Amino acid sequence: MLPARSILKGKNGIFATLLAIQLVIKLHDKYFVPYISEAQLQQATQNIAQQIAGDFKDETPMFVVVLNGAFIFASDLIKQYPGNCEVSFVKLSSYYGLSSTGIVKTLLDVSDQVEGKSVIVVEDIVDTGNTLEELISMFSNLNIKQLKIAAMFYKSEAYDGDYNIDYVGMEIPDKFIVGYGLDYNELGRNLPEVYKIKEGEMRNLVLFGPPGAGKGTQAEFLKEKYNLIHISTGVVFRYNIKNETGLGKLARTYIDAGDLVPDEVTIDMLKDEVLKHPDANGFIFDGFPRTEAQAAALDELLDQLGETVNGCIALEVDTEVLVQRLLERGKTSGRSDDQDEDKIRNRFIEYNEKTAVLKDYYTGQGKFFAVDGVGEISEITKRLSKVIDTL
C-alpha cells in the first residue's frame, strides 16, 4: 500500500516526509495499520461489477444490500454497474467488538419486492457464514428467480458454510479489519482504505559503527535470529536508482548536479521499504540514520506507525584495527576508498563529526548501547544478542 505523500517541515529543521494518511489509527482501545488501499478496493469493485454485468446482460437484477457494513461497497458497485438494476436493503447483525457473537439478528427485513426477481445479495465480508446462512434461509421462503452472493471480502479460513460465494472482491486472511464500511464498535466505517488490527509490538534496531566495523555481516545474522527485516540504506538507494523508480530518478537529478541527496528523499525510500512489510516483526536499520536530523526523521516515521526505535547498538572497534581491516578488504572489494589509507582515515573523520553524535541523541533517550566489535564473528553476534534480548 503506497498512500499519497505530503512534505512537512520537521521539528529539527529538516523536511521530514509524512504520509497524507495516517500510518496507524486508534479506534476505541485498539490500534490498526494500513492493509488495502483505496485504489485496490476500487479495482476489486469494478471487477465484480463487470462479472455481474456479464452474467445478467439480458435481465435487470435486484441488488439487496446488507446493512450496515456493505453500504460503501454497494454504493461503489452500483455506480460502476453498467446495466439497469434495482436496489433494496436488509439489515442483520452478528458482530460485537472484534468477533462474531454467533447469533444473527434480523433488524430490517427484506422487501417483498424481490418476488420473481434475480437477487444479488451484497455483503461486505463473509467469514463464519452465520449471516449468510440466515440470508439464504430468509430468501428460501420467497419466490425469487435465483440468488447470488457478492462479497467484497471473503475469509476462506474462517468460512464454515456450504453455500457458494459467487462474486468475491478479495480473499483475505482471518484478521479483523476496519474501513470501507466495516467498523470496530461503530467506528472506522468512513475510512476510504482498509486497516487491519495491529498485532503485538515490533522490535526496531539501529545498527551503526564506523566503516569496517562489520554492521552488514552482523545484520545478516541478527535478521535471521530475530526474524527482522534488514534495511540497508545503501542497498535501497542503489535499487531505486538502478530501477529508475520515481525516487531513484529524483535522487539522480541531485547526484548529476553534484549535490547531496536531501534527507527527505532518503526517508521516502526508507518509508517505501517499511510499507512493503506490514507484517514485519521489526526492522534493522543499517546505514541510517547518519545524523541527528535523520534520527529525528526516523523517529517521526516510526511514530506514524505507532512504533519506536527500541535500541541503537554501536559496534566499537579501534581505529587502527579498522584501517587494517579496510586495507585488507580493499584487496578484494575493488573499492578505491578501501585501498587508500588517507581516504580511509578521512572517512573516520567524517564518521566522528556526523554519525558519532548519534550516541548523544540515543543516550538521551536511554536507547544507546555500545558493543565490542573485535573478535570472532560468532562472539560479536552473542554480544549483540545479549543486548537485544533486554530490549
Quick check: is 215 catalytic? yes
Cβ–Cβ under 8 Å, residues 295 and 285: no
CA distance 332 to 334: 6
Active-site entry in 117, 155, 198, 215: 215
| 335 catalytic per annotation | yes
DSSP letter (8 states) at residue 179: B
Q: Are 204 and 302 in contact (CB under 8 A)?
A: yes
Alpha carbon distance, N-terminus to C-terminus of the chain: 29
What residues form DSSP beta bridges with 123? 151
Whether residue 329 lies in the annotated active site: yes
Strand order across the 118-126 sheet: 99-108, 86-96, 62-67, 118-126, 146-154, 167-171
Q: How many residues does the chain have?
A: 391
Catalytic residue among 11, 335, 345, 386: 335
Catalytic residue from among 117, 223, 290, 325: 290
Apex 235 CA angle, 247 and 266, nearest 5:
35
Give catalytic status of residue 5 as yes or no: no
3-state secondary structure of 207: strand
How far is Cα 124 from Cα 71, in angstroms, rounded to an integer?
Answer: 8
Give the Cβ contact number of residue 299 at 10 Å.
Answer: 20
For residue 250, what are the contacts with CB-CB under 8 A and spacing of at least 6? 265
Per the DSSP assignment, residues forming a β-bridge with 67 are: 91
CA angle 244, 248, 252 (to 5 degrees): 105
Marked catalytic residue, from 329, 354, 359, 367: 329
Active-site residue, 290 included: yes
- Selected catalytic residue, list 347, 354, 367, 383: 347
Active site residues: 215, 290, 329, 335, 347
